[in-house]
């Protein structure tokens, strides 16, 4: 026993040493390694953003901002879209103060502004010299404003949707893409271009559950077929003939000519398949063009043509969606004091101002410039040159998208590929799960829509109740 006690004692002193070290960490009030290495007196700004490439570029370039503003240190929380949305919404809605700035879209902005969760950005923009608010694309600017007309988030990029197609394959097969294709024509092309022996699918369409995934393109198809989620009295319309026809069309098209694994394919998976040459067409966001034309990632650079979002014979209104990732400041930041808001705004304005676009163009290449948010982007000569294949189509699609009047028949909601009501995140997700299961072949379209209709009815009833009370 006594012989063993010496090393035991030594071991004990090592343990004590470790504990002392830990106590030092406790006393220093260290909240996490992310806080290490801060200069004295620096103000930390924490930004939650979605991990899309344009945002990754912004993170990569952010040391320049820090160099210009040595008293501000940036911390990014970069998450995939679904996760970012869950986290940001939970944080802002419960008054969690982890984030000084959050990336949200034109879905959240008007609602959250209404709830009083966001800081009014108009005064901050007005006080920033050279920050040209009127330069924002008008359709996007209005989509990011509250009912008071004030802007509550600033767009980082804007997007609509269009149809990308392989010019080489079309030429090979002797096909021509019309200037304004219809979905029927697209289905015909897809059918002809599918070649399973060569591992090539006719078209890539999203099937991944999520209101921001499969529901986005599918909603534009529903709109194109003249369908709608609700009539003006909030009666759910998901089992109407128009919606049935549209969804059946979409599901059939995917099952016959879509890529393998379509039910799990979102933007990312479709992008991989299309850029690796495994699909002849791809209907998706206009920002996809930056990926398709990037020689580092894509095998099909220069072979892709861009056509407007397909319509139908019955309804030739522009059918592209409207979406913008934008930056907003939650009210909880204002509660930390005006200095925190100023520091946060300093970064937000840096990231959304004109010089940033120059910076990205020069450092990351002109195809990487975040598109759609500012009209002046389309006046930069280098950008026009680099993006000649798709920039005009992008700009046209964004300016034509009308989120106030998205459908052929009147509706009580706004939003093209979403419904701007708080219940939609949940409703859209649940409906998308049903439809994704139909795409996977686990149930029929009718079964999926029956279930979806049930969900929609419940939400519709709550609005009917409210309106009943109001009248």
Partner 1 sequence: MSTSEKSGSTAVADPATKPAKPERPAVGPGSRRDGWIRRGPLLPALIFTIIVTQLPFLFTIYYSTQSWNLVNPGSQRFVGFENYVTVFTDSQFRGVALNSIVLTLGSVFIAMVLGLAVALLLNRTFPGRGVVRTLLITPFLITPVAGALIWQTVMFDPTYGLVNFVLGPFGAGTTDWISSFPRTAIVVALVWQWTPFMMLLILAGLGSQPQEVLEAARVDGATGFAVFREVTLPHLRRFIELGIVLGAIYLVNTFDTIYMMTQGGPGTASANLPFYIYQRAFLGFDIGQSAAMGVVTVIATIIVATLALRLIFRSFSAAEEV
Partner 2 sequence: MTAVAERTRDESSEVVPRKKSNIGGSLLTVLAWIVGIGFFFPVFWMVLTAFKQERAAYTDPPTLFFTPTLDQFAAVFGGGITPYLLNSLFATVMSTVLVLLLGTPAAFALSLRQVKRTQDVLFFFISTKMLPIVAAIVPIYVVVNFIGALDNVWTLVVLYTAMNLPIAVWMMRSFFLEVPKELLEAASMDGASLWRSLREVVLPIISPGMAATGLICMIFAWNEFFFAVNLTAAQAATVPVYLVGFITSEGLYFASLCAAATVAALPVVIIGWIAQNKLVQGLSFGAVK
Cα separations in angstroms, 336 against 41, 45, 100, 270, 330: 16, 11, 9, 42, 11
Phi, psi (deg, nearest 5) at residue 459 = -65, -45
Segment lying near partner 2 (by CB under 8 A), choices 123-131, 250-258, 272-280, 434-442: 272-280
Structure tokens at 74: 């940036």
Nearest to 260 by CA among 440, 84, 37: 440
Distance CA 415, CA 211 (A): 13
Longest alpha-carbon distance in the chain = 95
Give the chain's radius of gyration (CA, Å): 25
Q: Minimal distance in Å, beta carbon 438 to partner 1?
A: 8
Spacing of C-alpha 278 from chain mean position: 24
Residue 434, contacted partner among partner 2, partner 1, none, CB below 5-8 A by kind = partner 1
Q: Binding to partner 1 (CB under 8 A): which residues in 96-115?
A: 111, 115
Q: Which of 20, 27, 33, 67 binds partner 2 (CB under 8 A)?
A: 33
Q: Which of 6, 27, 31, 67 binds partner 2 (CB under 8 A)?
A: 31
Q: How many residues belong to the chain?
A: 471
For residues 328 to 367, the per-residue mask of contacts with partner 2, x marking binding by CB under 8 A and - elsewhere, is ----------------------------------------
Contact between 56 and partner 2 per CB under 8 A: yes
Nearer to partner 1, 155 or 207 (CB): 207
Q: Binding to partner 1 (CB under 8 A): which residues in 243-302?
A: 259-264, 273, 278
Residue 172, contacted partner among partner 2, partner 1, none, CB below 5-8 A by kind = none
| Number of residues near partner 2 (by CB under 8 A) | 49
Structure tokens at 70: 């040595």
Q: Minimal distance in Å, beta carbon 62 to partner 2?
A: 11
| Torsion 56-60-65-70 (CA) sign | positive
Residue 208, contacted partner among partner 1, partner 2, none, CB below 5-8 A by kind = partner 1
Phi, psi (deg, nearest 5) at residue 236 = -65, 140
Nearer to partner 1, 252 or 402 (CB): 252
Segment lying near partner 1 (by CB under 8 A), choices 28-36, 135-143, 351-359, 420-428: 420-428
Structure tokens at 166: 């392989």
| Torsion 231-236-242-246 (CA) sign | positive
- In the complex, the residues that contact partner 2 under the rule CB under 8 A are 1, 4-5, 8, 19, 22, 25, 30-36, 46, 48, 50-53, 56, 75-81, 83, 87, 90-91, 94-99, 199, 266-268, 271-272, 275-276, 288, 291, 297
């Amino acid at each position: 026993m006594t012989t063993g006690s010496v090393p035991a004692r030594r071991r004990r002193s090592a343990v004590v040493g470790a504990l002392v070290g830990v106590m030092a960490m406790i006393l220093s009030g260290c909240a996490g390694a992310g806080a290490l290495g801060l200069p004295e007196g620096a103000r930390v700004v924490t930004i939650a953003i979605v991990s899309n490439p344009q945002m990754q570029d912004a993170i990569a370039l952010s040391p320049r901002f820090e160099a210009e503003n040595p008293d501000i240190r940036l911390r990014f929380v970069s998450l995939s879209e679904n996760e970012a949305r869950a986290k940001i919404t939970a944080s802002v809605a419960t008054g969690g103060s982890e984030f000084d700035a959050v990336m949200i879209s034109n879905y959240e902005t008007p609602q959250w502004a209404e709830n009083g969760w966001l800081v009014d950005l108009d005064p901050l923009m007005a006080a920033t010299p050279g920050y040209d608010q009127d330069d924002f694309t008008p359709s996007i600017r209005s989509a990011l404003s509250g009912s008071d007309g004030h802007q509550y988030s600033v767009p980082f990029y804007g997007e609509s949707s269009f149809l990308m197609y392989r010019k080489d394959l079309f030429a090979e097969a002797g096909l021509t893409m019309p200037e304004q294709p219809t979905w029927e024509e697209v289905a015909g092309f897809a059918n002809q271009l599918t070649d399973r022996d060569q591992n090539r699918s006719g078209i890539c369409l999203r099937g991944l559950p999520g209101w921001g995934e499969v529901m986005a393109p599918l909603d534009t198809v529903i709109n194109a077929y003249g369908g709608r989620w609700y009539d003006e009295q909030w009666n759910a319309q998901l089992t109407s003939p128009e919606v049935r026809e549209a969804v059946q069309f979409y599901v059939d098209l995917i099952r016959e000519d879509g890529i393998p694994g379509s039910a799990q394919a979102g933007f990312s998976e479709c992008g991989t398949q299309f850029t690796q040459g495994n699909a002849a067409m791809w209907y998706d966001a206009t920002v996809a063009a930056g990926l398709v034309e990037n020689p580092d990632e894509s095998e099909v650079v220069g072979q892709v043509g861009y056509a407007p979002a397909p319509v139908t014979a019955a309804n030739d209104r522009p059918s592209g969606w409207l979406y913008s990732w934008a930056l907003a400041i939650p009210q909880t930041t204002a509660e930390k004091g005006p200095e925190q808001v100023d520091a946060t705004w300093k970064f937000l304005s840096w990231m959304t101002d004109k010089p940033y676009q120059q910076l990205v163009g020069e450092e990351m290449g002109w195809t990487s410039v975040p598109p759609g948010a500012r009209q002046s982007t389309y006046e930069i000569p280098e950008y026009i040159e680099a993006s000649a294949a798709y920039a005009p189509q992008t700009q046209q699609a964004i300016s034509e998208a009308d989120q106030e009047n998205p459908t052929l028949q009147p509706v009580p909601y706004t939003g093209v590929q979403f419904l701007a009501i708080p219940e939609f995140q949940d409703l859209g997700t649940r409906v998308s799960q049903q439809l994704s299961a139909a795409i996977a072949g686990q149930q029929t379209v009718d079964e999926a829509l029956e279930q979806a209709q049930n969900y929609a009815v419940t939400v519709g009833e709550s609005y009917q109740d409210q309106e009943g009370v109001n009248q």
